[in-house]
Amino acid sequence: MRTQVAIIGSGPAGLLLGQLLTNAGIDNIILDRVSKDYILGRVRAGVLEEGMVDMLDRAGAGERMHREGLPHDGFSLAFDGRDHRIDLFGLTGRRVMVYGQTELTHDLMDKREASGGSSVYEATNVTPHDFDGAGPYVTYEKDGVTHRIDCDFIAGCDGYHGVSRKSVPESALKSYERIYPFGWLGILAEVPPVCHELIYANHPRGFALCSMRSHTRSRYYIQCALDEKIEDWSDDRFYDELRRRLPAEHAESMVTGPSFEKSIAPLRSFVAEPMRFGKLFLVGDAAHIVPPTGAKGLNLAASDVYYLFDGLLGYYADKSSAGIDAYSERALKRVWRAVRFSWSMTTMLHRFPDTGEFGQKIQEAELDYLVSSKAASTALAENYVGLPY
């Protein structure tokens, strides 16, 4: 087989890139090691920046998002028993869209099918080859048969645990990492959200986040220890702990109900540089991970795709390599700003095992300053709605 761009990974990054390329008449094939259903079963992000919304529109897959997504003009920071609204729209003139990653992935998969794009699911042993030379290709196995795809470029959109980054010689890669000493225990439940906007709560017992997927479906998280076991967390125990970390008005009005998803996610910041090795590009979580506190992971995948698509379009339409040559630098500039923001939100809102009561007081002072200073609130809001591409 031969294609112009071989895309490894059918998450948001791979699907979005694939659709933009297909729409521009650039041939591509998407390979993923798992099935479509498995991908759609993963519960992940929920908050989209306007840049991501625009990219979905550009891909021609934004229609349902505009119909069913919830535009949010603000969110709350809760601490010291009270709620403080950050007026995103008032401070920046921009808003975010609450729309699940699962839904967005579904829309992109449907769009790809409708436009006849080729995808191979449950492809094992996917391996990029010769991306340092003139003839890159990807091999994979399917039903016991080995296949080879020759291509011009390989887009490694295969997430943090993917094969693309691991195929690059270690000496060519510099990585930066911070692992946080806690995780998030999250549930999804068919109950109306406790508040019509998101609540990020700092509490001496630990961080909590009240998010949602719709007017009838809530996504709640609490900070937990890394060795916590899901089996030890009944729904009742989860809700009790969540209520303890929220201001009384929310704790009292919260509607509870059985969860249908419960999982623990570790938190880390990670960046691998550069994001290009010859004909191989790393895109999205394959190149970087941020803790979910700033709601940036999925949105960074979208900006990476924006820069890479721009470069590939320049290459095929104008025979210019300038865009692909600039990809890593352009993407990393925005990545590091989001890594900084996600780290600062995480540091400000979570309980750290070694900072004690002093740490709690410092966080409350920072939050108090944030909500009382227009300059500080604006800086927060500007980062949360997403820095320009």
- Site stretch for ligand RFL (CB under 6 A), options 40-48, 73-81, 274-282, 323-331: 40-48
- Which three-class secondary structure state does DSSP give residue 26? coil
- For the bound state, the minimum distance from the C-beta of residue 45 to ligand PHB, rounded and expressed in Å, comes to 6
Q: Is 279 a catalytic residue?
A: no
Q: Is 293 in the site for ligand PHB (CB under 6 A)?
A: yes
Q: Is 319 a catalytic residue?
A: no
Distance, in Å, from the CA atom of 190 to the CA atom of 218, rounded to the nearest integer, reads 6
- Cα distances from 154 to residues 52, 129, 259, 323, in angstroms, run 22, 9, 40, 16
Question: What is the token pair recorded at 104?
Answer: 């967005």
Q: Is 8 in the site for ligand RFL (CB under 6 A)?
A: yes
Q: Closer CB to ligand RFL, residue 10 or residue 202?
A: 10
| Catalytic hit among 99, 140, 180, 200 | 200
**Burial class of residue 389 (count of CB atoms within 10 Å of its CB; 0-12, 13-18, 19+):** middle
Quickly list DSSP for 45-62. Answer: --EE-HHHHHHHHHHT--
Q: Is 109 in the site for ligand RFL (CB under 6 A)?
A: no
List of E strands, the chain: 5-8, 28-31, 47-48, 70-72, 75-79, 82-86, 96-98, 118-120, 124-129, 137-142, 145-150, 153-156, 174-189, 199-201, 208-212, 218-224, 259-273, 276-277, 280-282, 288-289
Distance, in Å, from the CA atom of 140 to the CA atom of 54, rounded to the nearest integer, reads 33
Tell me how long the chain is. Answer: 389
Q: Which does 219 bind (CB under 5 to 8 A by kind): ligand RFL, ligand PHB, none?
A: ligand PHB
Q: Is 338 in the site for ligand PHB (CB under 6 A)?
A: no
Task: Report the candidate in 267, 302, 301, 266 with the shortest Cα–Cα distance to residue 286.
Answer: 301
- Site stretch for ligand PHB (CB under 6 A), options 21-29, 42-50, 111-119, 263-271: 42-50
Q: Is 346 in the site for ligand RFL (CB under 6 A)?
A: no
Q: Is 204 a catalytic residue?
A: no
Total residues interacting with ligand RFL, rule: CB under 6 A: 36
In the list 10, 218, 303, 377, the residue contacting ligand RFL (rule: CB under 6 A) is 10
Q: Is 389 a catalytic residue?
A: no
Hey, which residues does 183 pair with through a beta bridge?
A: 224, 266
Q: Closer CB to ligand RFL, residue 247 or residue 292?
A: 292
Q: Which does 62 bind (CB under 5 to 8 A by kind): ligand PHB, ligand RFL, none?
A: none
CB 312 within 8 A of CB 323: yes
Q: Is 284 in the site for ligand PHB (CB under 6 A)?
A: no
CB 105 within 8 A of CB 40: yes
Q: Is 111 a catalytic residue?
A: no
| Catalytic hit among 99, 279, 292, 327 | 292
Q: Closer CB to ligand RFL, residue 200 or residue 239?
A: 200
Q: Is 291 in the site for ligand PHB (CB under 6 A)?
A: no
Task: Report the candidate in 231, 213, 202 with the shortest Cα–Cα distance to residue 103.
Answer: 213
In the list 56, 157, 208, 385, the residue contacting ligand RFL (rule: CB under 6 A) is 157
Distance, in Å, from the CA atom of 17 to the CA atom of 110, rounded to the nearest integer, reads 15
Binding site for ligand PHB (CB under 6 A): 45-47, 198, 211, 219, 292-293, 295
Q: What are the catalytic residues?
A: 72, 200, 292, 296, 384
Binding site for ligand RFL (CB under 6 A): 8-14, 31-34, 39, 44-47, 101, 126, 157-159, 161-163, 184, 186, 265, 284-285, 292, 295-299, 301
